[in-house]
A = this chain, B = another copy of it.
Amino acid sequence: MEKMEKIDSYPFYVEPFHVDMSGRIFMGILGNHLLNAAGNHSQRRGWGIGALNESQHTWVLSRLSIEMEEMPRQYEHAEVRTWVESVIKLFTNRNFAILRPDGTPYGYARSIWAMIDVNTRKPCDLLSLYDGDIVRYVVSPEENVCPIEGHGRFRFRNAELVRTIETYYSDIDINGHVNSIKYIEHILDLFPREKFTGQGIRRFEIAYKTEAYMGDRLNFYLQPVDENEFDVEVRKNESETVCQAKICFK
């Protein structure tokens, strides 16, 4: 199979309401474009959500790390390219390049996905699903490079509770869960405007641990690593970790 048949292109345009006060696309909106690109790529190859639901399976996003040299700005046209880098039984690594019309990169992203059985909520062996069809689409790092660091580890030692929010209607997706993109919004809302009017974000990482639901109260714990790097842990019901994130400003 040709390399290009394994890689998909998802074009997007930076709409006025999708940019922040500095004119750069919101990280959450960019994340949404990445997830759409991933969804389309799977769909076209026969293992999208629709096909999976019939077989009682669904994709679950576990990690997403986005690293940007520059964020696309209002009215700019850009493109997401996405491909599967590897499949390891219960997980697949999917990469992304975010490109300008001339092919130069705004940045890159990495993600990890599991496939679960919708009834048991347990992960499935990806290599056995559809006779391992997904392996045919793997594009190795040698074939297509994703030149950003892998997902890091989180260690929360002295994180401080900085905000508590209720979850409302617009936080919730069709599955009744707080939607993956809304966490990104709420996490970035912890920071003062000066962090965004300057150079902006260099790298954003998030690890999704447990689902939260409408009405759950979310506690946000902030742990500064240094002047420009911050770890955030989101917990529900006082103790259960919902997700963890790392924000590196430039």
Contact = CB atoms under 8 A, between A and B. Distances in A.
Given A15-B36, A17-B32, A32-B17, A189 B173 contact: no
Interface in A164-215: 168-170, 172-174, 176, 179-181, 185, 188-189, 191, 193, 196, 214
A: contact size bracket: 35 or more
This chain: copies in complex:
2
A28 interface: yes
A214 B169 CA distance: 22
Interface in A36-62: 36, 39, 49-50
B16 A49 contact: yes
Q: Which of A20, A176, A185, A196 has the most CB of B within 10 A?
A: A20
Interface string A153-173: 000000000000000111011
A123 interface: no
A208 to B, nearest CB: 14
Interface in A1-56: 15-17, 19-23, 26, 28, 32, 35-36, 39, 49-50
Contacts of A16: 35-36, 39, 49, 173-174
A74 interface: yes
A64 to B, nearest CB: 13
A172 B32 CA distance: 18
A32 B15 CA distance: 9
A169 B19 CA distance: 11
6 contacts: A16-B36, A19-B174, A21-B172, A21-B176, A26-B170, A193-B214
Interface of A: 15-17, 19-23, 26, 28, 32, 35-36, 39, 49-50, 74-75, 168-170, 172-174, 176, 179-181, 185, 188-189, 191, 193, 196, 214
The 10 closest A-B pairs by CB, nearest first: A168-B189, A170-B185, A21-B172, A23-B174, A169-B189, A17-B32, A19-B174, A17-B181, A170-B189, A193-B214
